[in-house]
Amino acid sequence: MLFGRYFLFLTVFVGLIVYLALPYMWTSSQERSFETIKGDPERGKYVIRVAGCVACHTDSKNGGKFLAGGYKMQTPFGVFITPNITPDKTSGIGGWDLKTFSKALTQGISPEGSHYFPSFPYNAYSKMTTQDVADLKAYLDSVTPVKTQVVDHDLTFPFNQRRGLTLWKWLYFDESPLKGNSNKSEAWNRGAYIVNGPGHCGECHTPRTLFGGLETSNHLSGVSKSFAREKIPNITNAPETGIGKWSESDLSFLLQVGMKPDGDFVSGSMGLYVREGTGMLTPADRKAIITYLLDN
């Protein structure tokens, strides 16, 4: 009996090790077609602001060049360092075609076939429309290429093991399309798309499990100690703990210039996102975000 238990334990342990050692077991159920899609770089110039790419992929604090990477994200798992996404062919994404770019952005799969860490919010980007993906790639192809050597992430074990992300994706990655709500307005649906798709608000404002998955039952409810080691507020419409008592004007000022109702200004990662993202959106899109957040 004792031997049987040890054998069962050994079998499960070895099976788990083999399982985690196979990086290509996870496969997408959403293969996109770009045959009839043509990217518009001018529109992509706007999409990149909605998606917050500039804030993360430009190390502005240290004088880094536009989209050349190097921004350090301090997290409980270690330090993630953002890559170069300029069209440089050796240190950037200049050698990527649209399909390769889409797999990276919406599935978290590198050109070599390995998994990207979910600090890259492909869980939210998977909700982006195919047209937005194509437009974003067209714009990135048009920016000035920068040759730079970005160092690798500095993560603690076992979180530095990419192969284990097969299991992570099976547990947490949801690439199902975002469904519209016919009972809501066009503005509400646009806001839902921005918040839950390219804007990836939930990636910061939703608590995470021990292994970094989002607690979907607490969507946008805030984090006392966040993935980025800063307090992230509740942005649900809860009147006491969230933004339910905020006026549309309050939220508009926040998204446009970063000012809160008490006159203070947001800082940290939100400060970056306002400066490089929401502050550059159209009034209609900021209104859409507000409409969704106050009625969700």
The tens digit of pLDDT for each residue in 64-113 reads 999 999 998 887 788 889 999 999 999 999 999 999 999 999 999 999 88
For residue 28, give the nearest of 207, 182, 166, 150 by alpha carbon.
166
**Is residue 17 over pLDDT 90?**
no
| Burial (CB count <10 Å: 0-12, 13-18, 19+), residue 70 | buried
Specify the pLDDT at position 31.
75
Residues 175-208 pLDDT 10s: 888 999 999 999 999 999 999 999 999 999 999 8
Question: Residue ranges per domain, the chain?
Answer: 37-172, 186-294
**Average pLDDT of the residues in 267-291:** 93
**Average pLDDT of the residues in 31-55:** 93
Q: Which amino acid is at 187?
A: A
Average pLDDT, the chain: 88
Residues 233-271 pLDDT 10s: 999 999 999 999 999 999 999 999 999 999 889 888 888
Specify the pLDDT at position 7.
62
Buried b (16+ CB within 10 A) or exposed e, 211-237: ebbbeeebbbbbbeebbbeeebbbbbb
Q: Which long-range contacts (CB under 8 A, 24 or more apart) does 250-254 make?
A: 251/289, 251/290, 251/293, 251/294, 252/286, 252/287, 252/290
Specify the pLDDT at position 1.
52
Which range, of 24-28, 67-71, 127-131, 147-151, averages the lowest pLDDT?
A: 24-28
**Is residue 275 over pLDDT 90?**
yes
Second CATH level (architecture) for the domain 186-294 = Orthogonal Bundle (1.10)
Task: Tell which wins on pLDDT, 189 or 11.
Answer: 189
**Is residue 209 over pLDDT 60?**
yes
Quote the pTM value: 0.88
